[in-house]
Structures are given as structure tokens and as C-alpha cells.
Amino acid sequence: MFYAHDVRSLFAASPVAGAAAASTPAAQSEGPIARMLHRALSLLGTPYRWGGTTPEGGFDCSGLVGYVYRNNLGIELPRISRDMARVGELIRDRDALAEGDIVFFSRKGKHVDHVGIYLGNGQFLHAPRTGKDVEIASLASGYWSQKFLQARRVAPQAPTLAQAQ
């Protein structure tokens, strides 16, 4: 798991990483997904609270994802992770993940019971559980890698350089 002080080094190679804060002219020229992720990272350290949907009151996992999408992209998602997992384009292959995709997990079996936002570089942002704060975790290895079920793309992606040519 990673905390706010780890973010700069963690995302040094990511397009999300090197840009200035979302209020600067440089960040405003980025696409909406990059701006959303910058703002989402500002929520690192927010306390977990079951049923929570705001930075002031804390977040549960689906409350965090819903808040970020609603307040940054204007996309209203279902309130619970199980219902979120039915919205948007299904992505089963981890190699096809893009920044901003919503990633889903099952801690107890086959059914979705946890959700986060993919940041790129094999990392995702989530509100893990009671007693923990919003953090960055690895999708590439460890606990969450084994619990990954699927992802959904609900926000339009900016074309890559290869697609634009």
C-alpha cells in the first residue's frame, strides 16, 4: 500500500504523475481522466467510513468511486459496488486497463464486494476497510491481485498518440 508521500515517486513515469495540480494551466490542458485522477489523489488519507460518501465524513469503497466520478466527470454511478460492476464496458484482461477504469474485486468468493479506481502502472486508489484510510494499492501483485474480478470503463478515454496517427 502507498500513501501520499509515495505518490510522486510511484507515478514518475505516468502521464498523470508529472503534471501540476488540476488548477494550473498545465493540468487544465490535460484530458478529463488525468484531471480526475489528480483530484482523486488529493483524497489520499481520507478515513474509511462504512456508508461514507464525502471527504468530510469519510468514504467507503463505492462512496469514494461515486464521489470522484460524480464531482469530476459528472457521471452518476450506482451507490454500491455490485451495481457499479454492471455499468460501462466490461474489461476482463488486466493488460487492457486504462487510467480511470473502475476495478472490481471479491474478497469473499465470486461476487463483487469491493471497488477502486485504476491509476495506471498496476496501481489503484481505494478505501479499503474500517480502520484504514484511502490509499493506493497494487493490482500487479499481492492480496488485491488475487481478488481482482473485472474492470469497467465508464468514462470516454482520450485517444492515445498511436490512435491519433
Residues 6+ apart with CB under 8 A from 5: none
Whole-prediction pTM value? 0.81
Instruction: List, for residues 79-136, the tens digit of each pLDDT value.
Output: 999 999 999 999 989 999 999 999 999 998 889 999 999 999 999 999 999 999 999 9
Region of 122 please: left (phi>0), alpha (psi -120 to 50) or beta: left
Q: Which 8-state DSSP code applies to residue 95?
A: G
pLDDT tens sequence across 53-95: 999 999 999 999 999 999 999 999 999 999 999 999 999 899 9
CATH of domain 4-12+21-156: 3.90.1720.10
Instruction: Report the alpha-carbon distance of residue 139 to residue 10 in Å, rounded.
Output: 14
* Residue 126 annotated to the active site: yes
- Known active-site residue 111: no
Q: In the prediction, which pLDDT does 158 show?
A: 53
How distant is the alpha carbon of residue 58 from its chain centre? Answer: 16
